[in-house]
Amino acid sequence: MVTSIRSQVDIHMDECLASKRVVQDGEVDFLGKVIGKFWRDVGEKLNIDPNYMDFLNSTKDSLWTPQFRVIFFWTQCYDKKATIGRLAKALCKVGGENRLKKLKP
């Protein structure tokens, strides 16, 4: 029984890592919450300039968190290349593997 549960987790992770699905506008807020405290490291792995991330962090706004802004900026800049697979790989590179379970491949 434990093996089948582990296999389901592995399958989901593999699906996320291989996903070519483009991030949709309606997912940006949710995905910002998924990256959470990893936002800066994920941003760097998504090739967002560290100086721009400093700007995102310094601009305090009650509506948009730095996490939301990183995902929004990435989706706007990378358009069709802003995929769940790329986000999943970035999360894995910064120690956020456990957050992949929240992603929809």
Partners of 22 in beta bridges: 83
What is the per-residue pLDDT across 58-85, written as a single tens digit (0 to 9) for each?
877 667 889 999 999 999 999 999 999 9
Overall domain count for the chain? 1
d(C-alpha 83, C-alpha 18), whole Å: 9
Rounded to the nearest angstrom, the gap between the alpha carbon of residue 23 and the centroid of all alpha carbons in its chain is 9
What CATH number is attached to the domain comprising 91? Answer: 1.10.533.10
Q: What are the CA-CA distances from residue 62 to residues 35, 65, 68, 103 (Å)?
A: 18, 7, 12, 25
What is the per-residue pLDDT across 46-55, written as a single tens digit (0 to 9) for each?
999 999 999 8
Host domain of residue 20? 2-102
